[in-house]
Amino acid sequence: MKAGLFSLIALLAFASTSFGADQPNFVVIFCDDLGYGDLSTFGHPTIKTPNLDAMAAEGQKWTNFYVAACVCTPSRAGLLTGRLPIRNGMCSDTRRVLFPDSSGGLPHTEITIASALKKEGYRTAAVGKWHLGHLPEFLPTSHGFETYFGIPYSNDMDMLRRESHFELAENEDFSLYNVPLMQDGEIIERPADQTTITRRYTEEAIKKIGEFSDEPFFIYLAHSLPHIPLFRGKDFKDTSTAGIYGDVIEEIDWSVGEVRKALNEAGVSEDTLVVFTSDNGPWLKFKHHGGTAGMLRDGKGSTWEGGMREPTIMAWPGTIEPQIIHDMGATLDLLPTFVSLAGGSLPDDRTFDGYDLSAFLKGKTETGPRDEMFYYHGEQLYAVRKGQFKAHFKTKTSYTSQKKAEIHEPPLLYHLGLDPGEQWDVAPSNPEVLKSLKELADSHTAGVERVPSHLVGKIGE
């Protein structure tokens, strides 16, 4: 009798948390340092990306999609929490990202996409680059992910001796980057063989699709590339007319194709929203090893459009109509959108900076809910966009010898519809627009309760 009662209780408990028939799966494919102009569907003339081209043709290509920051760690924090990094200490004006000697990471008080979806009965897996804290208490398995397979920070860290990234990329000597490959909380390979890393990330994601296909799932596949140093699999070596960088992008394109094929073979393609984007713009100082932002200005490390506007594609066969989306969106919007589609709700004990895109994705509204974007450089608000106008209060060129930001008084003003490359300052002829953007920026910063940075501490301090 007791055993039967226990079984009944267990069954009822499972039923209360099991997924409904209309709960979609989510796969986020997140690149590292991919430029706005690096895909053929976004205008690259020599890099071939047939799988992403097909995904864009069958789904939605977003031309005004942003990230929360112009460098790795804060951008990733923004995606997973739906909050600007200034709200949770995941940014800094000094150590702008986490390093192997960093003692901090994403606070446990933060709600991630994984932890939010887990409450709705979802299976969760993180694959690839994490960069939100490599110590056990900060790893993906401490933030709502059941499993983790990947490199916990950037692939250029733990360098054994200082050498030219260019020479190392051409020689493909991964042994000089002593980065660890981890399975959950254990290091299983060091140095990680980065010539096989894209393939192994892909295989792990496909494995999880097979394991999870009978339940709703969220898979976060965060590639370590095309961040410097560049590595490609043997099947992709010297196959692109765009050199080693093209080889790397074309292998990532292959990965996207394999993941989508796995979804189809598992019979869950029409139940799955796939989002492809990147964490920030291209690392321009590495020239032909660093990608391009196309017609957008500047790249990684800057708040010009090339640093924070990313090539983004979404596909959900049978649910979202194929089209090009010119409305604004951001990685900040993924958490509220996914939670809404899963049938959940967000707590009201904190400020979220993302918008629920679900109605817009499904064509139930003609315009998207996002009409503004805030551009942070570390802990400082450098620029703000509302509608087609963007005001720059400060600027700093990406990763160059410029030590201090240039302060603009009056601010620079650009009409991004007419001038997405930010070439012609229209501030003199639009004083009222500039005034309204300044008021928007002031209102925003007044509402931000700053917390101490979690990026500045070192192990042993």
> H or E segment at 62?
strand 60-66
Please tell me the predicted confidence (pLDDT) of residue 12.
39
Assess if CATH 3.40.220.10 describes domain 20-371: no
CB atoms within 10 A of CB 68: 31
Please tell me the predicted confidence (pLDDT) of residue 164.
78
Give residues with Cβ within 8 angstroms of 182, minimum separation 6.
139, 148, 149, 150, 151, 152, 188
Residues 79-118, buried b or exposed e (16+ Cβ, 10 A)?
bbbbbbbbbbbbbbeebbbbbeebbbbbbeebbbbbbbbb
Please tell me the predicted confidence (pLDDT) of residue 276.
99
What is the assigned CATH class of domain 373-446? alpha beta
Please tell me the predicted confidence (pLDDT) of residue 8.
37
Q: Is-contact 56 74, C-beta < 8 A?
A: no
pTM of the model: 0.94
| Token pair in block for residue 34 | 């991919």
Active site residue 131: yes
Quickly tell me which residue has 């765009």 as its tokens: 242
Please tell me the predicted confidence (pLDDT) of residue 402.
74
31, 70, 91, 131: the catalytic one is 131
CA distance 132 to 113: 14
User: Which residue type is seen at 143?
Assistant: H
Listed by start position, the domains of the chain span 20-371, 373-446
44, 72, 223, 454: the catalytic one is 72
CB atoms within 10 A of CB 451: 13
pLDDT per residue, tens digit, the chain (461 aa), is 333 433 333 333 333 334 445 899 999 999 999 999 999 999 999 999 999 999 999 999 999 999 999 999 999 999 999 999 999 999 999 999 999 999 999 999 999 999 999 999 999 999 999 999 999 999 999 999 999 999 999 999 999 988 777 777 777 889 999 999 999 999 999 999 999 999 999 999 999 999 999 999 999 999 999 999 999 999 999 999 999 999 999 999 999 999 999 999 999 999 999 999 999 999 999 988 999 999 999 999 999 999 999 999 999 999 999 999 999 999 999 999 999 999 999 999 999 999 999 999 999 999 999 999 999 999 999 999 999 999 999 999 877 667 799 999 999 999 999 999 999 999 999 999 999 999 999 999 999 998 999 999 999 88
